[in-house]
Amino acid sequence: MDQKLSLKISGFTKTKAKQVCLFVADELVLGEQATKIWAATAQDLANLANAARFKAKKSSFFNVFAPAGSTADRIVLAGIGDLNAETDIKEFASAGGTIVNMLRSLKSDHAEIIFDIAASAEQIAAFAAGLRLGHYRFDKYKTNPGKQDDLPPAELKLTLQVADKKAVMAADKIRDAVTQGTLTARNLVNEPANILGTAEFAQAAKDLEEHGLEVEILDEKQMTQLGMGSLLAVGYGSRRPSLLAIMKWNGGKKGDAPIAFVGKGVVFDSGGLSIKPAGGMEDMKGDMGGAAAVTGTMKTLGLRKAKVNAVGVIGLVENMADGNAMRPSDIITSMSGQTIEVLNTDAEGRMVLADALWYTKETFKPKFMVNLATLTGANMVALGDQHAGLFSNDDELSQNLTQAGLDTGERVWRMPMGPEYDKLINSKFADMKNIGGRWAGAITAAQFLKRFVGEVPWAHIDLSTAMNVPATPICKSWATGFGVALLDKMVRDHHE
């Protein structure tokens, strides 16, 4: 059962909730509003804190039950350490996630958070985003059998009291658009493959029309007419149709070339005839993390009415083993006319992206393209799950993405490319082969994609960060939604 979260932002007012959260900084320092609320209890904070060994360090909590002089059943003292107006904005989001997880553990149904420390509207909006992101769980398929008393409340209502309600609400509107895009990406990746197939994913893209986007879905017949042999070959073994979803946001000047995001949307990857080992194959329901990030980003641009023209293109396929499936040794002709020798049917994501990138380049003439994909295990071997791999033919685009990653916490690390790597995918029988051998696997995959982008500035982000990473205060979910905040920040800083 998913618990609903509602968050209201208000000015400072008399507290009415049964649970009230007050910030306590180092040296047991309370803000002005918290001081007033605490003073009504007539209790000595220093003595209580000393008895409980509460030092107000970051992410520490002290619960005061049935405080005298207060209508609340509980006052939660939340240690924030040295959080202040100079603190990195990511720390505010983390604080929000920490607090909402504490409230969840207390089975709260209504709480007021008194935000009276020195902070900008953007920092407080980041804190609010942390509340929403940290609260997220994917529990929709849990029936929660057992005692009713063990169930969490159906809804957690939070009121965030701030000094400047108008400024915070304006900042929160922008930041919440990013949060909603991230949660959309998480939901898509978390869904099981028997529920979210290619048609269902395409419908999720189509649903973005309610936010002002134009969405077109190309079917197999249309893609065959366009010559998308590479993308279509991946889906030969599946009963589900292969589809291409095109999402357009026209928020910039009419006639301006769009920016473009392209995503790998393999809704389940068995490996095809080059079948994957059974252990861990269940994670391949998340092999559409790149397409999820693109869909979430396009939703964000629509929600915040971004002043930019943008297009998101996602190739939606399922890679299964079947009598019709592509075989190792098959030679496939891509939309570009270049031929591909298939040596491993589990190197399928690059084949989907090959046609999606070429289609995007030829159809929309974009200013640049960024593709996102859960493309290679080799990238995780190189970087683990704390950085996504970044491969690019353009230094400026790479720098913009790298800085956006540092600002948002969705970090990327640029990897090398070059002709020495490119020659590793030359084929004896076709223009290229779809794997380059054991070494530099993430790089040779990027070199494969580069052959389909021409002279357009381009970046490839290899997502070893989209799912199954260590939990953080703002992400307790298997799926992370990685990429939405990164791309939106890059757009806001450099293209609006």
What residues act catalytically? 276, 350
The values of phi and psi at residue 485, to 5°, are -65, -40
The tokens of 90 are what? 């990511």
DSSP state of 367: S
The residue whose two tokens read 């720390």 is: 91
Q: What share of the chain is helix, strand, coil (3-state, %, to 5)?
A: 40, 20, 40
Summary count for the chain: helices (H), strands (E): 15, 18
326-354 burial, b if ≥16 CB within 10 A, otherwise e?
Answer: beeebebbbbbebbbbbbebbbbbbbbbb
- Helical ranges in 25-73 per DSSP H: 32-39, 45-52
Given a contact cutoff of 8 angstroms between Cβ atoms, the answer to whether 488 and 181 are in contact is yes
Quote the CA–CA distance of 482 and 289 in Å, as a whole number.
8
With 0-12 / 13-18 / 19 or more C-beta atoms within 10 angstroms meaning exposed / middle / buried, residue 394 is: middle
β-strand partners of 458: 369
